[in-house]
């Protein structure tokens, strides 16, 4: 006999003792616990409605009931009412202990002859529902745990995502900075390239200018050469005509010849330098420009000298002509 059966027997014994008048004033208890007979069972007035419903729904419930002592029958009926009340409670409000106790009491009731298969089915249904609730509760707890785990994973992923986003932002900022540096470097290279092109154009322009100046110098040199030829012719003619003049005239013309020879030498030197300039003018633009300017100045000086010599020759020629006229006279 398990502990629930022992408790059940003790409970039945207490009910019997109460009805037998043991342990107290029997008259007071009878007045306090007035009973009504329902199908051979003495039940309290407050229990009449419930007991009648049981016999109406299950007329054969007590056909095989064994006990004959009224007090014992009443005690078993009270136990039956308690079990029915327990099984009508919401399954989630019943503990495993309470259901186990109800199962033991139901077994004892069936042993004494109550036909309670319908109540056993009710107990099994409540127990199954309770287990389902427990399973659902366990599943819910598992789901809650899974949700908590997912929440933690989600938070962890969010944290990692934030870290990755921050790292990516840093890299993007670094890449943007590098891109800006590259763009700036490219712009500098483009500016350098443009500057080189401008320098090349300026140099080409300077080359064209120098070439033009060189052509002008060559032209002037040729003109000087022609002037030199004419001057030589003139000087030679004058020297032939005035050979008979005085010695100082011969000396003077000799000096003029020396000057003319010097001019011819300078012209030859200028021609040589012009040829050198034509060959090397692309190597040193600034130096070429300076040389061309010097040559232009030299040519101008020579032109001045030649002009001066022509004036002097004209003067001497006039003087010689005057002397010739005097000699003829």
Which DSSP string corresponds to 122-173?
Answer: HHHHHHHHHHHHHHHHHHHHHHHHHHHHHHHHHHHHHHHHHHHHHHHHHHHH
Is residue 20 over pLDDT 60? no
Query: What mean pLDDT do residues 45-72 have?
Result: 95
Q: Is the dihedral of CA 97, 99, 100, 104 positive or negative?
A: positive
Contacts of 4 (CB under 8 A, 6+ apart): 100, 101, 104, 105
Q: Could you report the per-residue pLDDT of 74-84, keeping only the tens digit for each?
A: 999 999 999 99
Backbone phi and psi for residue 43, each to the nearest 5 degrees, phi listed first: -125, 155
**Cβ contact 113:68 at 8 Å:** no
- Is-above-0.85 flag for pTM? no
Domain boundaries, the chain: 3-115, 200-328
Residue 256's closest CA among 203, 311, 211, 199? 311
H-helix segments, the chain: 3-20, 26-32, 48-57, 70-87, 96-111, 117-241, 247-280, 285-328
Q: Could you report the per-residue pLDDT of 106-146, keeping only the tens digit for each?
A: 999 999 999 999 999 999 999 999 888 877 666 677 677 77
Q: Which pLDDT does position 328 carry in this prediction? A: 45
Contacts of 296 (CB under 8 A, 6+ apart): 213, 216, 217
Average pLDDT score over the chain: 77
Q: Could you report the per-residue pLDDT of 136-184, keeping only the tens digit for each?
A: 666 677 677 777 888 788 788 888 888 888 888 887 777 677 777 868 8
Which position has the higher pLDDT, 230 or 245? 230
Q: Could you report the per-residue pLDDT of 211-237, keeping only the tens digit for each?
A: 777 688 678 768 877 876 776 676 566
């Amino acid at each position: 006999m398990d502990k629930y059966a022992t408790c059940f027997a003790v409970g039945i014994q207490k009910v019997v003792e109460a009805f037998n008048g043991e342990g107290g004033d029997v008259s007071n208890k009878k007045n306090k616990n007035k009973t009504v007979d329902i199908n051979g069972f003495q039940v309290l007035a407050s229990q009449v409605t419930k007991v009648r419903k049981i016999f109406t729904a299950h007329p054969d419930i007590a056909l095989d009931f064994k006990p004959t002592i009224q007090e014992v029958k009443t005690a078993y009926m009270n136990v039956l009412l308690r079990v029915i009340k327990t099984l009508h409670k919401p399954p989630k409000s019943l503990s495993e202990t309470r259901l186990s106790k109800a199962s033991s009491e139901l077994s004892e009731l069936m042993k004494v002859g109550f036909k309670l298969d319908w109540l056993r089915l009710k107990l099994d249904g409540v127990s199954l529902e309770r287990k389902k609730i427990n399973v659902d509760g366990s599943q819910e707890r598992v789901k809650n745990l899974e949700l908590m785990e997912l929440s933690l994973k989600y938070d962890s992923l969010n944290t990692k995502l934030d870290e990755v986003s921050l790292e990516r932002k840093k890299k993007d900022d670094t890449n943007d900075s590098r891109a800006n540096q590259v763009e700036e470097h490219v712009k500098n290279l483009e500016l350098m390239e443009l500057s080189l092109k401008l320098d090349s154009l300026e140099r080409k322009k300077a080359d064209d200018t120098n070439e033009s100046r060189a052509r002008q110098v060559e032209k002037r040199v040729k003109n000087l050469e022609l002037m030199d030829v004419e001057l030589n012719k003139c000087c030679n003619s004058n020297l032939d005509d005035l050979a008979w003049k005085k010695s100082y005239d011969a000396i003077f013309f000799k000096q003029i010849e020396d000057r003319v020879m010097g001019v011819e030498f300078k012209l030859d030197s200028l021609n040589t330098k012009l040829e050198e300039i034509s060959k090397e003018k692309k190597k040193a633009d600034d130096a070429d420009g300076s040389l061309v300017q010097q040559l232009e100045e030299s040519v101008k000086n020579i032109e001045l000298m030649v002009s001066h010599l022509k004036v002097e020759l004209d003067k001497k020629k006039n003087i010689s002509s005057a002397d010739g006229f005097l000699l003829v006279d």
